[in-house]
A = this chain, B = another copy of it.
Amino acid sequence: MRSRGGRATSARRLLLAALVTRPGHLSAEELAAEVQSRAPDVNLSTIYRNLEELERLRVVDRTHLGHGPATYHLASAAHGHLVCEKCGSMSEVPDQIFDGLAEQARERYGFVIHPNRFAVTGLCAGCQR
């Protein structure tokens, strides 16, 4: 798993371990906390640098969920995100929900969408007053 000319450092192993053991959407800061619980002096910038490389290698996806920090998760988990603008809750939905949009975008604009890399915002069932 250690990649294209890269080296197997402990910071990287721990970061991957964190991504595997805590599935879901974690910010760089949360991942850092997780890694630091085992290796206290791994620096935040190291986390960012490695996440950047892992993103380039398509091992993780980075998603901007609304206003806060970006979140990261393993690329294997194919799903989209519905984020409520009011209460901030997020639900993961299967990729198929994007099929119609994907088809239209491709046919009409030649655009290939990446459903796991963005958040669909709106109002969840509980927040529609």
**A interface vs B, CB < 8 Å?**
64, 66-67, 82, 84-85, 91, 93, 97-101, 104-105, 108-114, 117-125, 128
A1 to chain B, nearest CB (A): 24
Chain multiplicity (copies): 2
Cα–Cα, bound, A6→B125 (Å): 31
The answer to whether residues A124 and B110 also contact, given A118-B118, A119-B118 and a CB cut-off of 8 A, is yes
Shortest Cβ distance from A102 into B: residue: B122
Q: Please name 20 pairs of A and B residues whose Cβ atoms are closer than 8 Å in the assembled complex, sorted by A.
A: A64-B66, A82-B111, A85-B114, A91-B111, A93-B108, A97-B104, A97-B105, A98-B101, A99-B100, A100-B101, A100-B104, A101-B101, A101-B120, A109-B124, A110-B124, A111-B122, A112-B123, A113-B122, A118-B119, A118-B121
- Which of A91, A105, A108, A118 has most chain B Cβ within 10 Å? A118
Q: Are A110 and B97 neighbours in the complex by a CB distance under 8 Å?
A: no
Q: Are B85 and A105 neighbours in the complex by a CB distance under 8 Å?
A: no
Shortest Cβ distance from A91 into B: residue: B109
A116 to chain B, nearest CB (A): 10
A17 to chain B, nearest CB (A): 27
Q: Are A113 and B117 neighbours in the complex by a CB distance under 8 Å?
A: no
> Known contacts A64-B67, A113-B121; can you find 9 more A-B pairs with CB under 8 A?
A82-B111, A85-B117, A97-B105, A101-B101, A109-B124, A111-B124, A111-B125, A112-B128, A118-B120
